[in-house]
Amino acid sequence: MRRIQIYDTTLRDGCQGEEVSLTVDAKLAVAERLDAFGVHYIEGGWPGSNPRDAAFFGPAGKLGLRNARLVAFGMTRRPDLEAGRDGSLKELLRAGTPVACIVGKTWDLHVKTALRVSRDVNLQLISDTMAFLRRNLDEVIFDAEHFFDGWKANPAYALACLEAAASGGATTICLCDTRGGSLPGEIEAGVRAARGATTVPLGIHCHNDGELAVANSLAAVAAGCTQVQGTINGVGERCGNTNLTSLVPALQLKSGYACVTPTQLAGLTELSRFVDELANREPHKQQAYVGQSAFAHKGGLHVSAVRRLAETYEHIDPSLVGNHQRVLVSDQAGRSNLLAKAREFGFTESEIEPCAKELLHELKLLEHQGFQFESADASFELLLLKAVKGIKLRHFRLLGFRVIDEKRSEGEDPIAEATIMVEGPDGSREHTAAVGNGPINALDGALRKALLRFFPRIGEVRLVDYKVRVLEGEQGTGAVVRVLVESADAEDHWTTVGVSHNVIEASWQALVDALDYKLYKDEKGRGRGTRGRAGRRPPAGKRKGR
């Protein structure tokens, strides 16, 4: 079984992506996770380009990485300086890594217009830089920038650049599809040409501008590359880089190559979400292998089939990459969806069958009104409890609330205040008020304050995410809105939904469901409930204003 080296450049190339930013501490945390996952190389940044990258390498060298080698990134020497006198190369060596990756021009167009030197001078820059670094480091990787474009434009010169890197002592030559516009057939032909020009091991570095970075990387490996470069979740400049969360399982599970251990591969989904969390990005639900929807089934025919045999609609066992199968309930749901989903909450088929027809009818009516239970499992479980077991869901009775949002002058922020009166389980009343940074926040505060006397454990609940979706945009400010509220306590997190023309009313529905679910859960004494998979705690800074 051929072993493929995984080279991660999330901390350098990935951070060049729009809206992707990692602090030094975050980069260190990601590096530790990448090492635990089993990548072979972690490119930490360009020491001479910015203070953040320079500050990373000192503490990174003390992490005690067990699987990965740290790599510092740089470029070929300046044309007017010897390699030993080039300041950026000195900075690179000061990073103290055992490996360096050097980018150099291989497309004659760039040599002429970007470097503005002759083609022969560029060859000398490549070989000199390789030779200088090879005398000081264990490994030197040459990133052949724009190789495939250069090879298509001037094959002889592009290959001469690879030969210059090899003559200087490069230990790996990485062929780069820097513009991301090549097709798999072109990648395969370019790799085979490079393979014929040098005996140095080859790597592949693809960008995703044509939505082909993973396919192109697979083609390159099939043609002889033994190292693949990419980023977690495909982050990177423009349309991003090769997505390692798709490429690694494709190589290991479908193509028969060895990349990481099976145990490490099972941590892929967690790694994907961890990186998104620290990068302050919302995870892409439809992302292959690791996305929340990657193994989600909504159509009744699909669910009926996967209940009998998962592989009818699942191309791999999701547990191999740390993901899991999900059954969704919606207006497209059939009896199979309902029964499968009910089993997730501990209901038996015999409990559901007598009320299945009526429950499906109610579910589809609610979905027609705008409710959506795919991402609001807690609200759906409360619906099941009411229909199947007749459990009283509301632990208190609303006697009324009022919300005031007042703006006193153009230059001042609005003031939001909510008052509420509720009747507790013992028949007594509680009348409270609260202010907040918006009407929903104020209402949430007043409701919690009113219920604390009756249910002290309400104090454990925190609201971690709040989303509003306009369902009928053509109606403007009078449109129906859907509100999703994600709540959490020390053991669990869950999501509830509300729908109305009035955003405060929709929010009220979702907030009340959230607190009722907490009380029901505690009454049942269920430690970590079924909502552990329903949602994701959003990163700080992404939490929505209320």
Tens of pLDDT, residue by residue over 498-530, are: 999 899 999 999 999 999 889 888 877 644 333
Same domain, 225 and 206: yes
Helix (H) / strand (E) element for 306: namely helix 300-308
Among 454, 469, 488, residue at a domain's last position: 454
Looking at residue 533, its pLDDT comes to 35
Considering its fold, how many domains does the chain have in total?
3
468 forms beta bridges with 483
Residue 332: burial class (beta carbons within 10 Å; 0-12, 13-18, 19+): middle
Same domain, 54 and 127: yes
Same domain, 106 and 178: yes
What is the DSSP code (8-state) at residue 255?
S
Spatial strand order of the sheet with 415-423 comes to 397-406, 415-423, 429-436
- pTM of the predicted model, to two decimals? 0.71
Same domain, 400 and 384: no
Domain limits for position 340? 296-389
How does pLDDT run across 273-282, given as a tens digit for each residue? 899 888 878 7
Alpha helices in 172-241 (DSSP H): 184-197, 213-223
Looking at residue 336, its pLDDT comes to 61
Q: HSE-up of 296 (CA within 13 Å, CB side)?
A: 18
- The identity of residue 326, as a single letter, is R
Same domain, 227 and 173: yes
SS3 for 66?
Answer: coil
Among 389, 408, 426, residue at a domain's last position: 389
**Strand-pair category, 415-423 with 397-406:** antiparallel
- Residue 498 is assigned to a structural domain of this protein: no
Among 430, 454, 478, residue at a domain's last position: 454
How does pLDDT run across 396-426, given as a tens digit for each residue? 899 999 999 988 888 888 899 999 999 999 9
8 forms beta bridges with 42, 230
- Residue 538 is assigned to a structural domain of this protein: no
Sign of CA dihedral 151, 189, 229, 276: positive
> Which residue has better confidence, 393 or 247?
247
Give the CATH number, domain containing residue 244: 3.20.20.70
Looking at residue 48, its pLDDT comes to 75
Q: Does residue 150 surpass a pLDDT of 90? A: yes
| Whole-number Å distance between alpha carbons of 55 and 94 | 11
Same domain, 94 and 187: yes
Least confident residue range of 74-78, 206-210, 475-479, 526-530? 526-530
| Whole-number Å distance between alpha carbons of 206 and 15 | 16
- Residue 543 is assigned to a structural domain of this protein: no
| Whole-number Å distance between alpha carbons of 41 and 205 | 13
Same domain, 404 and 325: no
Considering the chain, what percentage of its residues have pLDDT values greater than 70? 90
Looking at residue 412, its pLDDT comes to 85
- Residue 512 is assigned to a structural domain of this protein: no
